[in-house]
Amino acid sequence: MPTFNPLGGYAADMVAGSQGSSTDEGRHISILESDLTHPTHADGFVDKGDPIIFNDLGQSNYTGVGVAFASAAAATEFIAVDTEGIWYLNVVSADDLGNSNIVFGDQIFINVTTAVLSKIRNANTNRPFGYALNTTTIAGAGTASVIAVKVHWDPYWSVVAEPLCGVAGAPYVKDTVNTTFRQFRYDYGAASGAGQGNYTRLYMTGAGTATGNAARFYTDVVGVAIGNAYGAHISVGFGESTTAGSVTGLAAAVRGTLGFPDLAMGAGGTYAAIMPEIFSFGAAADPSAVTELSFIRCVNDGNAAGIATVDDKAYLLVLTGGSIAGGNIVEASVTEANYAWSARCMLPGGQVAYMMFANAVG
């Protein structure tokens, strides 16, 4: 039977009609020992009956798993591997949240570094291995039990699996400079329609008092004297080059839409399209030592020459609908000369007005 190397495939010098596998529709393949990841042994080589993973390139659809048919005495040996079948194997009763009984039918995963089997499905560390055919009871933390496992090489598991990037108390750690943990880049080339890089919609169907977020971003600053931290940084750019893009409509870095259905709303509740919030977690919360604290901070920033061309009075506040209650409140001690700043407002009907701000009284 021709041998297989996951970096180069099966032997390429065979003639048409040569058999590539002698048994069971190609489930048995031979792989170089040095290309196998398997449980640790004193001699460093794979043992007969070991669960193995091979050709892991960090992408689930290139990963192969199986069980070794034989033990190796050298890294240069080719080992026959069963990529299917039912095998009795050691499986740790744990999932991504800790100790967890294994139930018949549970999906079993293999660690890409240690080849330990468990229910841990974190896509950074584990790949699908098969399915449990027994149920276990936890005997202790990290306990492994011998159970029957249906081995199955599933190249498209990411369609149905839940890839996790760390869990509470055990985040995925990478400390190299300028790390981007996950990156998605799309190119919407259509001349019309509505392109969306990512779309998340949460349906809340319960009639209780549950709280829901279609997306939740939380930057937790636990180090001291961190430079800058943002819960979310959302931008609209225009190419940042000499050939810049443009829009004929509205370009907004953040658009908050509070949508009302075409029917009468239920009584009660408080509604807001955008709600800036400063939240104190306890009675000892004391931000008095910070340099500046604000609900909204407006900044004209970037290139100095570019800053000078920005009309920082324009459209700081835009009202395009509804009504404004009349009336003025004037501090008698504030004189006209003290009004050093203004915010330009667009009122209903296109009327322009200015909100004046004083820097002193008297």
Residues 120-140 pLDDT 10s? 888 778 888 999 998 887 666
What kind and span of H or E run contains 141? none
DSSP per-residue string spanning 6-65: TTTEE-S-PPTT--S-SSGGGTEEEEEGGGEE----TTSS--TT-EEEE---S-GGG-EE
Residues 144-192 pLDDT 10s? 889 999 998 766 554 444 556 677 777 777 777 887 777 788 888 898 9
Closest CA to 91 of 76, 82, 103, 77: 103
Would you call 25 helix, strand, or coil by DSSP?
helix
For position 338, what pLDDT does the model report? 62
Confidence band (pLDDT; 50, 70, 90) for 109? very high
Percent above pLDDT 90 for the chain: 25
Among left, alpha and beta (phi > 0; psi -120 to 50; other), residue 239 is left
Q: Which residue has the higher pLDDT, 27 or 328?
A: 27
For the chain, the domains span 1-181
Q: Which residue has the higher pLDDT, 123 or 32?
A: 32
List, in sequence order, every beta strand (DSSP E) within 107-143: 107-111, 117-118, 126-132
Count of other CB atoms within 10 angstroms of residue 26: 12
Residues 283-327 pLDDT 10s? 999 998 988 888 888 777 888 888 888 766 544 454 444 433 333
Pairwise CA distance, residues 90 & 134, whole Å: 12
Confidence band (pLDDT; 50, 70, 90) for 341? low
What kind and span of H or E run contains 269? none
Answer for the pair 361, 334: CB distance below 8 angstroms, yes or no.
yes
For position 323, what pLDDT does the model report? 37
Q: Integer distance in angstroms from the first to the last C-alpha of the chain?
A: 97
Can you give the pTM of this predicted structure? 0.57
Q: Which residue has the higher pLDDT, 84 or 159?
A: 84
Six-digit token pair at 173?
A: 């750690």
Q: Which residue has the higher pLDDT, 174 or 38?
A: 38
Six-digit token pair at 195?
A: 């392109």
Residue 184, CA atoms < 13 Å, CB-side half-sphere: 5
Number of residues assigned to the chain: 362
